[in-house]
């Protein structure tokens, strides 16, 4: 048990003073103490003290209601309105190419500047996470509302920082954008309320269906369909455009996902995928899968950025995401305690009504 506002209990000391002042200044008709009149003319205990008792009890209960005695903790589940965004940073070998003649700045540096500029634009309701990839993908920052945390995590991907994460990811040199996009999807899955998350088996089956050349429609778990999964979710991939589909038999044997199939899954789920291409172009197969044919809806959009930071393109990407409708899938658990304020206030109000009745009814008033 706890008291929310313990200072309010000090008001209890004022109650006797209020009652004394009431007796001192109340205008009442006195009863004769002449013995000839007899004791039967004196008011009974109910008339004499009933109203004062009700007034005192009401004041005590009002003070306790203000103090708010709390008991029995419980967890309250709230659903926050937010947008879920995963920034995916390409650290493959081709991103190390110089972006200008001086050779001091690489394409990776420009892409990283773009990611930082994107974070600067974020609204307070934007939940942003960071993934980096080369031949493998790694979650650098779980989704967070904290802009400073995101900036510090992005700094780990700066080649000048020479962090262990950067050295590990740039060691392979190859590009595995499909797995990075899949990892972003898995992060979204894990953000769902536990009762709405797909099972491990469902996720594993979905992953295997993305390998090789697949023309069959992907089977989306029913739990995702019920939650309107995909609303207010976006993946922003910073790359130089050198992304392969990975659909050969050899790719399947390596366990590589077909990026075209991943785009198809993203589109089917309703998630938006935006490619920010620095100083390069995208393979026709990937472009067609992402932007769709003339009569088809698109899974996202490609934004081409020159070999230097173009903030207008970053703004254009963010404006696309900012126009998305927010989802209400993020659960926030808050520990609460049951309050006594409501019942005490109602009881005090009832006692005040009873006090008022005592004052006006002939059977109970003193005069």
pLDDT the model gives residue 4: 83
Beta strands in 41-125 (DSSP E): 69-90
3-state secondary structure of 221: coil
The residues of the chain that CATH labels 3.40.50.410 are 76-331
- Within 86-176, residue ranges assigned H as helices are 107-121, 147-155, 164-170
Choice among 21-35, 215-229, 236-250, 279-293 with the minimum mean pLDDT: 21-35
Residue, of 52 and 201, whose pLDDT is higher: 201
**Dist CA 187 CA 182 (whole Å):** 9
Specify the 3-state DSSP secondary structure of 2.
strand
| CA nearest to 299, candidates 262, 273, 319 | 273
pTM value surpassing 0.75: no
Q: C-alpha distances in angstroms, 175 versus 23, 131, 354?
A: 88, 13, 79
Q: Per-residue pLDDT tens for 348-360?
A: 899 888 888 877 7
**67 token code pair:** 């103090």
Q: What does the pLDDT read at residue 41?
A: 56
| CA neighbor of 268 nearest in space, from 234, 218, 228 | 218
> What's the N-to-C CA distance of the chain in angstroms?
45
Q: What single-letter DSSP state applies at residue 37?
A: G
Q: How far is CA 274 from the centre of its chain?
A: 22
Q: Can you give 154-176 as a three-state secondary structure string?
A: HHCCCCCCCCHHHHHHHCCCCCC
219 vs 130, residue with greater confidence: 130
The yes-or-no verdict on residue 37 having pLDDT over 50 is no
Write out the CATH class of domain 76-331. alpha beta
Q: Comparing 137 with 254, which gets the higher pLDDT? A: 137
| pLDDT score, position 101 | 76
Of these ranges, 31-45, 124-138, 167-181, 208-222, the one predicted with the greatest mean pLDDT is: 124-138
Please provide the average confidence, as pLDDT, over all residues in the chain. 85
Residue 265 has pLDDT above 50, yes or no: yes
Structure tokens at 88: 């995916």
Report which of residues 73 and 96 the model is more confident about.
Answer: 96
pLDDT of 85 higher than 50: yes
């Amino acid at each position: 048990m706890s008291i929310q506002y313990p200072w309010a209990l000090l008001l209890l000391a004022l109650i006797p003073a209020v009652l004394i002042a009431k007796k001192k200044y109340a205008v009442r008709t006195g009863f004769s103490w002449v013995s000839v009149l007899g004791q039967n003319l004196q008011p009974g205990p109910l008339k004499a003290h009933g109203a004062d008792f009700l007034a005192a009890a009401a004041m005590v209960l009002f003070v306790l209601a203000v103090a708010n005695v709390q008991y029995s903790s419980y967890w309250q589940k709230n659903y926050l309105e937010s947008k879920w965004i995963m920034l995916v940073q390409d650290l493959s070998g081709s991103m190390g190419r110089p972006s200008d003649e001086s050779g001091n700045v690489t394409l990776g540096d420009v892409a990283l500047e773009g990611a930082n500029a994107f974070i600067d634009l974020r609204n307070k309701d934007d939940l942003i996470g960071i993934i980096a990839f080369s031949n493998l993908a790694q979650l650098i920052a779980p989704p967070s509302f904290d802009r400073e945390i995101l900036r510090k995590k992005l700094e780990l991907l700066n080649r000048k920082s020479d962090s262990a994460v950067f050295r590990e990811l740039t060691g392979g040199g190859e590009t595995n954008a499909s797995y990075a996009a899949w990892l972003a999807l898995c992060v979204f899955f894990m953000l769902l309320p536990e009762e709405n998350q797909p099972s491990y088996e469902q996720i594993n089956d979905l992953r295997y269906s993305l390998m090789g050349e697949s023309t069959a429609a992907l089977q989306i778990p029913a739990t995702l369909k019920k939650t309107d999964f995909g609303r207010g979710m976006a993946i922003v991939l910073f790359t130089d455009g050198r992304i392969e589909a990975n659909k050969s038999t050899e790719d399947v044997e390596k366990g590589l996902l077909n990026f075209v199939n991943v785009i198809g899954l993203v589109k089917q789920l309703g998630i938006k995928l935006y490619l920010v291409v620095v100083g390069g172009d995208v393979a026709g197969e990937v472009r067609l899968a992402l932007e769709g044919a003339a009569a088809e809806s698109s899974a996202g959009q490609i934004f081409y950025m020159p070999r230097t930071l173009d903030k207008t393109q970053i703004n254009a990407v963010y404006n696309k995401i900012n126009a998305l409708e927010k989802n209400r899938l993020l659960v926030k658990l808050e520990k609460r305690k049951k309050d006594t304020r409501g019942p005490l206030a109602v009881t005090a109000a009832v006692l005040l009504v009873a006090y008022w009745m005592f004052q006006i009814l002939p059977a109970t008033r003193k005069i």
